[in-house]
Amino acid sequence: MSKLASKKRKSSVLKLKVLIEDLTYSEEELVIGVSELSNILKEFSERIEDNQKEAFNNYFFGNDPVTVKPENVTLATTTGITVHSPKKDNVNSTTKKPVVEGWVKKLYKQIVQRSHPDKYIDFPIKEIKEKFTNVYMLAVESYQHADVGMLLLCADEVEIDTSNIAESVQYINKTINKKNVRLSEIKNLIGYQWYHLPDNNRLTFLESYIKQLGYKFNKEKAAAVVIKNRQKRKVGTRPEKLRVKRNQAK
């Protein structure tokens, strides 16, 4: 691999690492925003006219609302906060595994050999144990979905040389494009937008949103609901548990 090609590959790997970090943050922010806005709307439904209540609840929550969790949030394009129960896996289903090339399977085995949690059971440094466990889990998921770009990233994390793979940049860039699409989808959802709204804009946003859907709005009562359900965080900041320095992704 030429120096120019090597630089392009390193640049693509770094872009993917930073993008994954942004996507992780955004997904967490989306879940927090959906949860907070859903709680507000549930309380707000108690304050609307009785003849509107059933329609309001069905519109926003359906007949079987559930607790919002990252793994069971399905966001409708209309409201952005529709929540559905998680689907149970069909044990009798025969899902075909994606076909991967021989070198991909070989690379996957190398990653697993270097990152398997069993190798680090008694390892004294917690951070390194967590790193390799995360790489292992990500590699397994990526292989199951034939995401070669993510596998190449995992290989980079465990210091496996993939410079001999001519198409590595194309595979990584393909994964970058997929992640960017998902990131754009998240940022267009109302739960994510709610998370990033400054406090002084939230009531106006909620009033406009509710009135647009044809429901009556009491500003004073709504203000009390918004304040009650406000999470203890600064709007526009990353969730504390996911705040990671950018240089850690390099």
Instruction: Tell me the pLDDT tens digit for each residue of 117-154.
Output: 999 988 899 999 999 999 999 999 999 999 999 999 99
17 in helix, strand or coil? helix
Q: Which pLDDT score is estimated for 47?
A: 64
Q: Which of these, 174, 170, 178, 133, lies nearest to 154 by C-alpha position?
A: 133
Angle, vertex CA 198, rays to CA 192 and CA 200, nearest 5 = 135
Q: Which of these, 174, 175, 182, lies nearest to 23 by C-alpha position?
A: 182
Give DSSP secondary structure letters for 21-87: HHHHHHHHHHHHHHHHHHHHHHHHHTTS-HHHHHHHHHHHH-SS-----GGGB---TTTS--B-PPP
More confident residue, 22 or 63: 22
Residue 63, pLDDT > 50, answer no
What's phi and psi for 115, nearest 5 deg?
Answer: -120, 0
Rg of the Cα atoms in the chain? 22
160 in helix, strand or coil? coil
CB-based contact 67:31 (threshold 8 Å):
no
The region of weakest confidence among 51-55, 69-73, 105-109, 165-169 is 69-73
